[in-house]
Every structure is written in C-alpha cells, then in structure tokens.
Chains A and B, each alone.
Chain A
Amino acid sequence: MTETIELALKTLEAQLNQPLETALEACARCGICAEACHYYRAEPKVEHIPAYRAEQLRSVYRHEHDLLSRLFPIWTRARKLDEPMLANLAEIAFSQCTLCRRCTVNCPLGVDTPLMMRAIRAMATASGTAPEILVMLADAAIEKGKDPSFYKDMFLEQIKEMEEQLRDVTGDPNATIPVGKQGAKILYVPLAGAHTILPPAVIFNAAKEDWTLSIFEASNYGVFLADVNRARQVAKRIVDEANRLDVKEIVIAECGHAYASYRWDVPNWFAGQFDFKVRSLIEVMADYIAEGKIKVDPTAIPEAVTYHDSCNLARNGGLIEEPRFVLKNVVSDFREMSPNKAEAICCGGGGGLVALAEYAERRLTAGKPKADQIKNTGAHLVVAACENCRLQIGDLNEQYKLNIRTTALTDLVVRAMRLPKPLPGNETEHLFEGEKVAVEK
C-alpha cells in the first residue's frame, strides 16, 4: 500500500462517525435520487445518479468494513483502494457534485450523499490529490491571517477611497466605513472586492448601525476541501477579530458557503458557543426594512425579477423567507422559479466548482437545468445572494444566451433606497429626491 493510499484510508477512518457510516450503509440503490441531481438532469446517465457516485466510496468502505464483502467481494463490488481509484473518487467529488444536498432531500431514506462526497474530498486533500488551486487559495488565506500587517495599510488606503465614494453617493459627509472599531455591535465580513463593501456600507450608514468592517474576507476554501483543519484556521482569523473587537455579532456578506460555514459549522470546529452570533447580511437587511430603519421604494425596480436560492443559504442554511421578504419590499414584479426554496435546483457553481477552471465545461453543462428555470420565469434580472452562484449564472447567461443580468440582493436594496447618486457600477437606475431617474453608464 502506498503512502498516498494509506493517508486516504486513514482519513476515511478518522471521519467514520455515526452519520457517515449511516450514509454508507442506508442506500437501497432504488435510483429515485436521479432527477434530483442537476448533473443527471443535464446529462441523464447512470454515472450522474447520486447513488452511483456514492457507490464508488461504498465499494472502498465495504472492502475495509463488511464481512460479506471481504469473503465475496464480487457480491457487493467491494474493491481495495488504489491510486487510480482514488484519482477517480477525487474527480467525482470535486467535479460532479456541488454538495447541494438536493439528493438527500429527495431520498426516501434521507441518505446524505454530500457527506460522503465531503469524506472523499477530505481523503483527496489529505493524500495530496485535491485540486491544487483550492489548496493554494486556502493556504493563502491562512498566511494572510498570520500577518495582516503586511497588507493592512494598503487595505485601509482603499477603504479611505471607498469612504469618499460613500459620502458622495449618500450625500452624508459623516458616512464612514469603520475598521477595527472596538466594541462595535456588528463585525461585517465582506468578500474580496469593493462591490461587497460599498453597498452594505450605504445600508449600515442609512440604518445608523454601530458596525465595523473586517480586514478579512468571508470566503473559506478550506470548506471546499473538506479539510476541517484548514477551514478552522481560515475561520479563526475572523473569530479572533470578533473576540478582539468584542462585537455582538458577525454579519456575513452575501456568500453561500461562508454563511453556512460560519453559521452552522464554525461553532463545531471551535467546540463551543461564542459570545457573538452569526447572521447573514440578508437577515440584517430584512430586519432593517421590517423595523423601518431603512426606507425602500417597492416601485423602484419595476422590471421582472427572479431569485435563485443558493443551496448553502436555503436548503443547507435555512435562509428561505428572509430574502423573499426583502425582495417583496424592493421589487414590484417578483417571479419565483419552479421548483424553489428547499427544492431549488443548484446552479452548478457550488462546492468550489467556480474556482476550478479545468471543470468549466462540465460546470456549464450541469447548469443547464438552472438556465432553463431562469428562462421559464421570463425575468431578465436574476438575484443571487451568493457570489459563486452569481458568477455561475453570469456564465450560464453567456453559454445559453439568456439575456439576463445578475445582481446581489444588497445592490437591489441600495437601488431602492433614495440616494443622491448611484453607486459606481450600479448606475442604470436610481432614485433622486424621491423621483426615479434613469442614469445610463
């Protein structure tokens, strides 16, 4: 047995807890999960049935753990893990499953196939067969956390420039983007890029929120690798920052995997409850609207709008009604995709797929069911509260000529607010002194 295989099997053993063993044992191979998977819908073949994918890991598990399989391996197709098999497993887990859990929801037994795909990802990561780019991105984030002073000055300079833009568009000379504010109520964690800082800053200032901006970004590539050690190190930067600043809550930018991991996984990685709570910016905006802290015009966006449920936010995160509440307050023609909410179809960009250029073609093919769903709504503006989903839907737009635009929920809220000037990059339409003004780029 090579060292690679030994590491992979050791990682499988280390993960073998009650839920994983159950997922490995429960499947009756009824195949009813087939259409639940967007890969199968796009290309109906046996290899794209979730149960078939899971069988590839089960054959390894049985070889190690099942009496009948050890005596008669042919009876259960049990196989000893070798390097080509490991490479195949890694390929399946990283390129043919977005961990969306739609198959689990549709399984009569509730088999958690994504849990098995995560187990494979962890095996591949531990044995050095995971996609290199994901490993590099996760490690870069960890390094950044070790010495933030290296880039902090540059970051603060950029924030200063953004603050000028903020004052310009809000007309408020006191509008700020605080960084490192001790004792602030909210620590807002953006993604990389001004587009996830400036619009939320407009909203926080309008709501007169006591907030501060994190110097780190929310995305966590350790999650895609299913490497809890790396994921914990990436998350630790923000947990430490929140503790250091003594904030009451962490608010995560519109990002599916970041929200799901900070809201549902981070307390487990750190083995305890925190003094702060974790919310999504979506929940915060919904509360501001409900409490009248920000004023939005429900007629501000008259065009037909549809909403894509990110799997990590909705099915895996429980954020189902909150984005709809926000949308119904800022758009006048909201059209649901079908199916939606917990039954929503994955766009195909999740699970880190958007970052893996080598699987781009496969990702776009698998996104066809989502493209069809969007087309069927007749809407040309698609809201996705997840950066990876937006990137994928943008690519689907080009691939399938959908003639749509994608937007974040935050951007729509800002468009529905009454601002003297539009935000950079969002100049198509805004309100000025209560009058709708179309400003073309």
Chain B
Amino acid sequence: MLIAQLLALAGLIAGLFGIYLRYAETKRRVLPADRSPIKGNVSHGIAYAFTTGMLPWAKESTRIHMIAYLRGIGFHIGIFTAIGAVIISPFWEYLPPVLSWILFGVLTLGAFLGTAGGVMRIVEHNLRGLSLPDDHFAVWLTTLFITVTGLAVVNEAFLIPMYVVAAMTFVYVPLGKIRHCLYFFFSRTFFGKFFGRRAVFPHGVETP
C-alpha cells in the first residue's frame, strides 16, 4: 500500500512539475501589449470569461448542445473530485459515512459521463473525425481513474489500483491533451481581455 501511495505521490509531483514546465514555457513567450485605446473594460471581460460567459445559455453552441456541454461539465467535476479524493485518501476513514456516499455518487456519475464521452468519440461522426489517439486515450484513462477512485471509496480492495491509475493519470497530464486544463486559464483570460477591451463581452460595459 505504501509503495502504491508513494507511486501516486511521485506521479502527482511529476505531473505538477510537467505542468509547471508547460506554464513556464508559455510564459516565456512574448505577450503582445495592446496599445489600442480601451472601449470596454478588460477586468469585466476576464470576469465574464470565467463566470457568466461559461453558463450553458451564454453561448449558442452550448444552447444547441446543452446535454453534451453538461456531460462535459459533470465529467470534469468527476475528475477534480477524484483528484481531491486521492489526495485526502489517507484520511477517508475519518469521513462521515454520508460524505463517503456523496463522494461515491459524484464519482459514479463522473465515471458514467466519462464513459459516455468516450463512447461518443467513437460513434459520433464529427467527434470521431476530430479525435486523435491521444483524445481517446485521455478520456478513457481519466474515466478509469474516476471509476477506480469511486470503487476505492466503498471497497478497500481498489485502493492499490486507484493509486496506480492516479499515478499514470498525473504523469500523463502534461504530456497529452489533458494539459488543456492549464491552457483553459490562458485561453479564457485572453478571450476576456480581447472582448472586454472592445466592449463586446460583457455587452454594455463601456469606458466613459
């Protein structure tokens, strides 16, 4: 057990270090200064990009694909819950039973939504055309991670597999497509700066 735990810890450290390297690599690149006179409000734009701009009804695409979007949100909640669960796993025995069952419920739902995402990538024409081997691997790896973490919450026999899969997942984060978790923050920030400056989003906010 201790070896498995150390393996997961090593994986987490390696993953974080890899993500840091990615972050440093991107930050090393030039960030062009925008000298055009501001019409809107950059801070409001960034705040919009991370809050109301992410609501399912904020964009035409997510209004059309509401179920797919919510599936993705649920899947990602499952992933982050699983990461949190693994980190606090040495203290699970102190969790009230009701919290354990909530944890199990969230992870089960996440695993189900991850499986749905994995299947969609195979059967849906557009998604299949867009997907790389990296995409298929990433969705199934994270789904497996959520699944074994959920099982480990209710059955100790899954603790070692959980740590092993967690280690694999953590190591893979900076290597494959899962690193979009880092670039999400860059991307939404640039989105907010661009559209906020031009008073496009949030609509109606203009510099006097």
Is residue B95 contacting chain A, with contact meaning CB distance below 8 A? Answer: no
Q: Closest A-chain residue to B126, C-beta based?
A: A31
Whether A68 contacts B176 by the Cβ 8 Å rule is yes
**Shortest distance in angstroms between A272's beta carbon and chain B's nearest beta carbon?**
6
Is residue B112 contacting chain A, with contact meaning CB distance below 8 A? Answer: no
Whether B36 contacts A267 by the Cβ 8 Å rule is yes
Which residues on the A side are within 8 Å of B201 (C-beta)? 105, 342
Whether B134 contacts A32 by the Cβ 8 Å rule is no
What class of interface size applies to chain B in its complex with A?
35 or more
- Given contacts A32-B69, A35-B64, whether A273 and B186 have CB atoms under 8 Å apart is no
- Given contacts A342-B201, A343-B60, whether A111 and B175 have CB atoms under 8 Å apart is no
A-B contact count (CB 8 A): 159
- Given contacts A16-B29, A17-B32, whether A52 and B49 have CB atoms under 8 Å apart is no
For window 27-80 of chain A, which residues contact chain B by CB distance below 8 Å? 27-36, 46, 49, 51-52, 55, 67-68, 74-77
Is residue B130 contacting chain A, with contact meaning CB distance below 8 A? Answer: yes
Is residue A21 contacting chain B, with contact meaning CB distance below 8 A? Answer: yes
**Shortest distance in angstroms between B52's beta carbon and chain A's nearest beta carbon?**
13
For window 65-87 of chain B, which residues contact chain A by CB distance below 8 Å? 65, 68-69, 72
Is residue A263 contacting chain B, with contact meaning CB distance below 8 A? Answer: yes
Partner of A110, one of B69, B175, B188, B200: B188
Taken together as a complex, chains A and B put the C-alpha atoms of A67 and B34 apart, in Å, by 32
**Chain A count of residues within 8 A CB distance of the other chain:** 59
Whether B130 contacts A29 by the Cβ 8 Å rule is yes
For window 8-33 of chain A, which residues contact chain B by CB distance below 8 Å? 16-19, 21-23, 25-33
Is residue A205 contacting chain B, with contact meaning CB distance below 8 A? Answer: no
Taken together as a complex, chains A and B put the C-alpha atoms of A33 and B54 apart, in Å, by 14
Which residues on the A side are within 8 Å of B35 (C-beta)? 267-268, 271-273
Q: B110-138 toward A: CB 8 Å interface, digit per residue (1/0)?
A: 00000000000000111101111111010
Is residue A108 contacting chain B, with contact meaning CB distance below 8 A? Answer: yes
Whether A32 contacts B62 by the Cβ 8 Å rule is yes
Is residue B191 contacting chain A, with contact meaning CB distance below 8 A? Answer: yes
Taken together as a complex, chains A and B put the C-alpha atoms of A417 and B61 apart, in Å, by 42
Taken together as a complex, chains A and B put the C-alpha atoms of A22 and B62 apart, in Å, by 22
Taken together as a complex, chains A and B put the C-alpha atoms of A268 and B61 apart, in Å, by 32
Whether B36 contacts A341 by the Cβ 8 Å rule is no
Whether B32 contacts A32 by the Cβ 8 Å rule is no
**Shortest distance in angstroms between B191's beta carbon and chain A's nearest beta carbon?**
3
**Shortest distance in angstroms between A63's beta carbon and chain B's nearest beta carbon?**
13
Is residue B198 contacting chain A, with contact meaning CB distance below 8 A? Answer: yes
Is residue A254 contacting chain B, with contact meaning CB distance below 8 A? Answer: no
Q: A322-344 toward B: CB 8 Å interface, digit per residue (1/0)?
A: 00000000000000000101110
**Shortest distance in angstroms between A257's beta carbon and chain B's nearest beta carbon?**
15
Taken together as a complex, chains A and B put the C-alpha atoms of A56 and B134 apart, in Å, by 16
- Given contacts A22-B190, A49-B130, A109-B183, whether A32 and B26 have CB atoms under 8 Å apart is no
Which residues on the A side are within 8 Å of B187 (C-beta)? 22-23, 26, 109-112
Partner of B180, one of A26, A36, A67, A314: A26
- 9 smallest CB-CB distances across A and B, nearest first, come from A110-B191, A46-B129, A106-B61, A26-B183, A318-B198, A22-B186, A26-B187, A267-B35, A17-B30
Q: Which B residues are within 8 Å of any A CB, using their own CB?
A: 22, 26-27, 29-37, 39-40, 49, 54, 59-62, 64-65, 68-69, 72, 124-127, 129-135, 137, 175-177, 179-180, 182-184, 186-188, 190-192, 194-195, 198-201, 203
13 contacts between A and B (CB under 8 A): A16-B29, A25-B22, A29-B131, A29-B132, A29-B177, A75-B133, A106-B59, A108-B59, A273-B37, A277-B37, A314-B200, A320-B200, A320-B203
Q: Which A residues are within 8 Å of any B CB, using their own CB?
A: 16-19, 21-23, 25-36, 46, 49, 51-52, 55, 67-68, 74-77, 104-112, 263-268, 271-273, 277, 314-318, 320, 339, 341-343
